[in-house]
Structure 1
C-alpha cells in the first residue's frame, strides 16, 4: 500500500500590508500584533528592533503612529495555518453600553485586559474571538487583572484616538470602590504623591512612591468603617498611573484588602479563609463625554457578589 504524504507547508513569506483608514493613528506594534495573530509578542518586537519590519521602506520604532496608506513590510513570521482553530477561547462579558464607536463592559476580577507578561490572552483577545466580524476592537484604557468593573473598548479608530487623548489629559471622572485595611480617618483626602515604576529582582513590575516618579493625584472619600478593622473608601483618579490607587492607599498605611503586591499576606490569608480570594478594588463609575458626539455619558457597575458578601460579613461580625 502506498503511503500518502502531505506536502510540507510553504514557509512563511514577506508580506506588504497597506494600512487602512480603520488603523489610522495606531501604533506599529499594536498593528502588527493584530495582523499577525498568534505570533508571540517577543517575536514581533524582535523583528522591529532588528529592522525586519519596514514602514514605507524605512526602519521604524514600535511606538510610531501609522497613517492611512502607509505600506508595512512584515517579515516571515510563522503564523497560524489558515482555518486553524483560534487559540483564544471567545467570551462574552456583561455589556453596559454599546454603539457604533464604543463598547463598555463589566470586567470580572481575575481576567487580564490583554495577553502578555505570562498571560496568553485577555479580555480584548476574547472579545475579538467572540466578534470575528468586528473591523476594530481596541482597549481605550486598562484595569489591573484583579480589578473588576467598567472597561471601555473602542470600535472605531476615531473613537480610539479621542479616548486615548481623554485618558492622557485626565478628562472624565473615574471612580473606584476599595476596601482598605484599618480605620480610615479623613472623610475626604487628596493624595498627591509621585509614582515610579521599577522591576523586582525576579522581573516583576512594581510601583513605589518616589520623588523621581511621575505626578499622581487620587481623591479618597470615606464610605463606611467596619469596627476599626476595615474601611470602605471611594477613590477618584485625577491621573492614571500604573497601580496608582493601590500604591497611594498603601502609602497611607491602609493597603487594599487582598492586594498581593502591596498588602499584608496575613490579611489576604484571613480573607481567603472567609471565602474572599481577590483584591477588593472595583471600577464602579465612569463619567466621560462620548468620544465622537461629545454627549455626556455615565457608566456604572455594581459591586460584584463576592465583594457584597464580604461587606455583609463585616457588617454582622462582632467587634
Structure 2
C-alpha cells in the first residue's frame, strides 16, 4: 500500500496485506499522528472513499479496492510524545530471523509488546517507527512485559493469519502444524520430578484496583504445561516449560499454585524472596522464551529458533553454581 501523504490526496490499491481490515483500523495505522476523532470525521463526511463511493468506518476492505485518502491534519507532538518517540527508536530488538513474510525478534524484559494499559509504547510501535518502509507489520502472539525472549511478527497479512491459526491450535507435542514453545524458568524451591504434566484450568479476574490477574479454578479454561527439570540447587530449580496451551500468565500461575513461584515474579511470586533476590543480583523475573519450533507460514518448512538467556539471567545462574555462594548451596 502506498505511504500516506499528509499534504495531498492519495489513491491506492488494497493488497492482500490490507484486505479484510476495517477501514478505520487501516487509517489509524497509516495516518500516524492524526487524531482518531479527525479520522472518523473525514470518513463520515465522505472525504475518504472506496471505489469512488462513501464507506462506513466499519467497512471491511477487499483486495482490489481503490481507497481515496484526503490530506490529514496531524496533531502537534507534545514533549511527552517526543520523548516516547525517542525511546521507541532506541529500543534494541535483536533480530533472530527475518524473510519476506516473517520477523522474529528477541524481546527484552521490561518492555510491553504493544502500547496501552499504562504503557506509552511497546515493541510493535518501536518496530514500525524503526521500519517506516514496512508495508505491514503485526504481532503474531504476546509475551508478558516482564518476560524476555522470542516474539514472532507477520510481515504479510496472509502469514499473520497462518501464524494466528497455528497459535490457536496450541502445542500438540510436536505436531507438524503447531508451535512448540519452550521457556526457561527459575523457581523458588526444590523441584524433584524430571518430567511433570500440569493440567490446571485458569480463569481471569480483576483486583479491586482494576488490575487483571489469573488463578486456578475448576470453571476456568483448560491449560496444559509440561515442565522438565534442568538443574537444581538447595533453594531453587531451573525448569524448561513447554506450553501446550497459551493462556494468560499460564506458566506463572501454574507454578505459583504448585508452591514453586517464579523467581522475581512481582504478581504471583514470593515477595520476601524477591527482595532478597534483588539484593543478590536478580532484579527481574526469571522467565525467558528461549526456543520455538513451528511450520513456516508460507512454505510449511519446519523452523527452529533459539534466543540465548539474557546476560543478567546467565550471571545469576553462575552465582548459584559458585561454591562461595553459600546462601544458595550447591547444585545437585
Residue 204 (1) aligns with residue 199 (2):
no
Structure 1 position 158 matched with structure 2 position 158: yes
Change (3 A) 1:52 1:195: farther
Query: What corresponds to 1:24 in structure 2?
Result: 19
- Structure 1 residues 218, 27: closer, same or farther in 2, change over 3 A? farther
Give the drift of 1:110. Answer: 0.8
Report the 3-state secondary structure (helix = DSSP H, G, I; strand = E; otherwise coil) of the residue aligned with 2:254. helix
Instruction: Report the equivalent of 1:241.
Output: 247
Partner secondary structure for residue 166 of structure 1? helix
Normalising by structure 1, we get a TM-score of 0.82
Q: Distance in 2 between matches of 1:147 and 1:271?
A: 17
Q: Which deviations, in whole Å up to 9, do the C-alpha atoms of 1:220-278 show, x marking residues without a partner?
A: 01111111x11000000011111111111111110100000000111111111112211
Figure out how many residues of one structure are paired with residues of the other and give that number.
296
Whether the 8 Å CA contact 1:57–1:73 is kept in 2: the answer is no
Normalised by the size of structure 2, how large is the TM-score? 0.79
Q: Aligned with 2:85: secondary structure?
A: coil
Task: Tell me the residue number matched to 1:215.
Answer: 222
Give me the CA root mean square deviation: 3.3
4+ long deviations beyond 6 Å: 15-18, 51-56, 70-74
**CA separation of 1:210/1:179 partners in 2, compared to 1, >3 Å: closer, same or farther?**
same
Structure 2, gaps ≥5 residues long: 1-9, 171-177
Q: Is the alpha carbon distance of 1:277 and 1:32 closer, same or farther for their aligned partners in structure 2, counting shifts above 3 Å?
A: farther
SS for the counterpart of 2:153 is strand
2:179 is aligned with 1:179: no
- Contact 1:38–1:87 (Cα < 8 Å) also in 2: no
Residue 88, structure 1, aligned to residue 85, structure 2: yes
Are positions 1:280 and 2:277 aligned together? no
Alignment of 1:72-87 (within 5 A): 79-80=74-75
- The answer to whether structure 1 residue 102 and structure 2 residue 109 are counterparts is no
Structure 1: give runs of 5+ residues left out of the alignment.
1-14
**Alignment of 1:34 onto 2:46:** no
CA-CA distance at 1:139 after TM superposition: 0.6
Q: Aligned partners of 2:286, 2:24: CA distance in 1, in Å?
A: 33
